[in-house]
Each structure stands twice: as C-alpha cells, then as structure tokens.
Structure 1
Amino acid sequence: MFNVGDHVVYPYHGAGTIRNIEVKEVLGKKLSYFVLYFPLNDVTLMLPEDRISSSGLRKVIEETQLDELIHALQNGIQTKNENPKQYSRENENLLKTGSIIDAAHVIANLSLKEYERTNGLHIQDRKNLDKAKQLIVSELILANDMTEDEAYAFIDKNVQVSQGA
C-alpha cells in the first residue's frame, strides 16, 4: 500500500506526494483519505482510501525504468485512425491511463506528426502533446531528482532521436 511521503502518480494529474492520511467523518461514517499534493500544478486533492485500487494511483517510475521510457519516446505506437477527432480521442485515452509509457507514446506520435506536417498540429493535438509532456515532467522531477528544465530537455533529447535529428 501507500504511505505518507510516497511519490505517486494519479492518472491525468501527474506525479505528486502523499502528504497526509486524514480520517474524516462523512454521514456518520469514519473514512480515511489520502491527501495528495501535485507540485507542478500546485494542486492538493483528497482521495478516499477505499478508492485507491480503482483510481489507478501508482508509485512513480524507478531509475531502472528510464530505458523503457526512452524507447517509448523514440518509437511511439502505430495508430489506426486517420480521422483527426478519433486520433485525438485515442491520445486522450492514453493520457488518462496514468501510464508514463502511454504518455511517452503520445509524445512520440504527436512529435513525429508535427515534424511531418508543414502547418503544425491541430489545437487538440497540441494540447495533448503539452499534457503528455507535463505528465512525464512531473514524474521525472519526483522520481529522478531532475529540475523541470532538465526533465523537458530529457524528453526533447530523446524524441529528436526518433525524428532523425
């Protein structure tokens, strides 16, 4: 299970830290809540303990998993959708999983798409690309003691390799 001080990832919110576990009385019932703080967004939220397993909350990646992250940033995944709305929806669904590898696939795919297009990405694709980068940056900061700038540079360096730069 999780403890106070653990660095965790909450799907679509990014990486944060468990600051506290509080007991609250709600409708005459005592419930435990995990108090999560997300420093990159400066957001605090309370997650009921009985919803932890279904929430997708997980610990941040370990340094040993960086090679897998780099591979995902360089390779992406094949998408089947040519329809821009469906393509955007697929990327949004990948981001909602909370998986750093899925976020890396979104970055790889959209970076390649942006590189190949002469007029840039559609607005929804740009939003998904920014969100994916933000999710990975938040996790790299907590998991690997990187600064925000170092984390963005890490992403850019590894994505450029897949574009032949």
Structure 2
Amino acid sequence: LQFKKKKENTEANTNLLRIPKSNEQKPEIKKVKKQDTEKKEYKIKDFVVYPKHGVGQITEFKKMSIGGIEIEAYILKFEKDKANGMVPVNKQSHLRPLATINQVNKCISILKSKPKIKRSMWSRRAQEYEAKISSGKIYELAEVVRDLNKGDDLMVDQSYSERQLFEKAYDRILTEFQIVLNLNLEDTQKKLDKALKRNLEKQVQKIENKPPEEEVSEEIAK
C-alpha cells in the first residue's frame, strides 16, 4: 500500500510539471496601452518649457495658413529673452509643462550632490553640457549647474565657455523654480545658491580685498 501511494504522488507531481502542448489554449495576456502624453492641451496664460529657449508663456492660440496648409499654433512669449515664438499644436510634444514641487525638490537634491566631472577633453564635455541644456529636461539642467558650479570660487579657474554654460543652465532653472515655488527672484536665487553653497557676497569681498599686483610691484620698485 505504501508503494502504491508513493506511485500516485509521483504521477501527481508529473502532471504538475507537464509542459502544455501547442494546441492547448494559453492564458490570455492583456497588453496595457501607454498613456499618450502628447495630447495634453495647453491654455492661454499657461507656462510651458520649450527646450531651446526655456520657460515661456502661451499668449495666444492662432490659426494660420502656411503654404496653403491650415495649421493651429501656440504663440509663446519668452520674457527672459524678450522674444516670441510659435509652436504648431501637432508639434507640441516639443513642449513640456512646468516641473512639479516634487521634481523641484529632486533638483535641489541633485544640486547638493557631489559633482560628476569626466576626465575628457573640455570640447567634448561642453557638447554634452550643451545637449543637456537643449534637452529642456529639468534633471539634466540641474546636473549641468551642479557639475559647473564653483561655489565660493565662482569666476576663479573657470573659462569663459564654462561660465556661459553654467549661467545658461542656472538661469533656466532659476526662472522655472521662481514660477513653480511662487517666489520673487531674490528669494529663488538664495534658495538655489544655498543648495550650491555659493556665497556671491563673500566672493565679491575676496575680489575687492585682493591687492592689485601692479600697485604692489611699483611700491617694491621704489
């Protein structure tokens, strides 16, 4: 009897491990459709981010004819650049909404983190930084600001092109943070500089207190 029970158990286990044949019905797996993020509708007065120019405000929704083709477009005003732009509605995937509070907090954490400097030629790194800025992605902008930040040593041991890229990324983040956090420009800048450990007043004092080299050399000559 014991042998018989053991045999039955073995057959049961074999059935559990049996590989289904090709003609047997397989369980249906439902595919989950991705959400279409390009169908977001923006309204007049909405702030959006256009990668090449940064934060802009929609001032008008316009219908026009270009080359005999009727199109609908958003008219954007870029306050920082004192310029206007036009983005066709069917190309609005190039736009993104402003960052959320959670994304801003994540950016501040990035700004506080240790810089990641690659040991490659500056020309190559400059291209990578420029690509990140042009992407318009808030986290990538924060990474550029963090990596090019000199803290209290701003304008020291930093080339002109480095400063240009830093200021470009810094201004983009500053403008977006100001709107999202609903702060004035000065308070937003203080918040950013605190995360970056930048003390511009201290830096200015360093420059002002530094004795001019020419005057010192003249006194020694006398």
TM-score clears 0.5: yes
C-alpha separation in 2, matches of 1:27 and 1:132: 36
Q: Deviations over 1:57-89 (max 9, x none)?
A: 100112232220111111266343421111111
Q: Extract unaligned runs of 5+ from structure 2.
A: 1-39, 199-222
Structure 2 length as normaliser, TM-score? 0.65
- Match of residue 127 from structure 1: 164
- Match of residue 147 from structure 1: 184
Q: Extract unaligned runs of 5+ from structure 1.
A: none
C-alpha separation in 1, matches of 2:52 and 2:183: 20
Paired residue type of 2:145: I
Percent identical among aligned pairs is 22
C-alpha separation in 2, matches of 1:43 and 1:66: 26
Name segments (4+ residues, structure 1) moved above 3 Å: 112-115
Equivalent residues of 2:62, 2:73 under 8 A apart: yes
C-alpha separation in 2, matches of 1:118 and 1:143: 29
- Match of residue 96 from structure 1: 134
Q: CA RMSD in A?
A: 2.2
Structure 1 length as normaliser, TM-score? 0.85
C-alpha separation in 2, matches of 1:74 and 1:122: 23
C-alpha separation in 1, matches of 2:178 and 2:82: 14
Equivalent residues of 1:75, 1:105 under 8 A apart: no
C-alpha separation in 2, matches of 1:125 and 1:114: 16
- Does residue 88 of structure 2 align to residue 48 of structure 1? yes
Higher relative contact order (CA 8 A, sep 6+): 1
Aligned length: 158
CA radius of gyration, larger in: 2
* Pairs within 5 Å for 1:41-80: 41-53=81-93, 55=94, 57-75=95-113, 78-80=116-118
Q: CA deviation at 1:119?
A: 4.2
Q: CA deviation at 1:118?
A: 9.2
Q: CA deviation at 1:91?
A: 0.9
